[in-house]
Amino acid sequence: MSPAAGMTVSPVAVVDPEHVRLVPGTIVSIRMRNFMQYGPEEVHFRPGPNLNVIVGPNGAGKSTIVNAICLGLAGKTGTLGRASQLADFIKVGEEEAEIEIELSRGGGHSREVMMEFRIDHSVHSILGARFRAATLGRRCTS
């Protein structure tokens, strides 16, 4: 699925990610499903290695991408100033949402960080290992 109508998401320069040395921690890709206004069809963004610009009209989903990055990397809902519960970020009418962020580990390797949340609970996972958000920073660096 492409971004919301009227929104453009593209890196400043098109670069083959296989030939770029990414700094560890660089976001390689962002996937969302049932998150805020994005629906059950997966939305996938692949930011470029340098400056990325997200442009679109009000309500197109620009802030949703920032919220997905923050929450997907175990940020607190209060930091975003939108809602106090994770369940409030699930698309209206859905029971669960999913955010997956792929981070570079440097040297051409990457690691996926996934957050799945339901109305009643949430779980993070790295390479299939599930854990609580409080330990995410430690697990990403190992």
| DSSP 8-state code for residue 121 | -
Instruction: Tell whether 63 is covered by a domain.
Output: yes
pLDDT of residue 3: 53
Instruction: Tell whether 1 is covered by a domain.
Output: no
pLDDT value at 68 more than 80? yes
CATH number at residue 59: 3.40.50.300
Predicted confidence (pLDDT) per residue in 70-107, tens digit: 888 888 888 888 888 888 888 999 988 888 888 888 77
pLDDT value at 6 more than 80? no
Domain residue limits at 49 = 8-141
Domain count, the chain: 1
From the list 49, 27, 38, 11, the residue with the least C-alpha distance to 100 is 27
Instruction: Tell whether 122 is covered by a domain.
Output: yes
pTM above 0.75, yes or no: no
Instruction: Tell whether 3 is covered by a domain.
Output: no
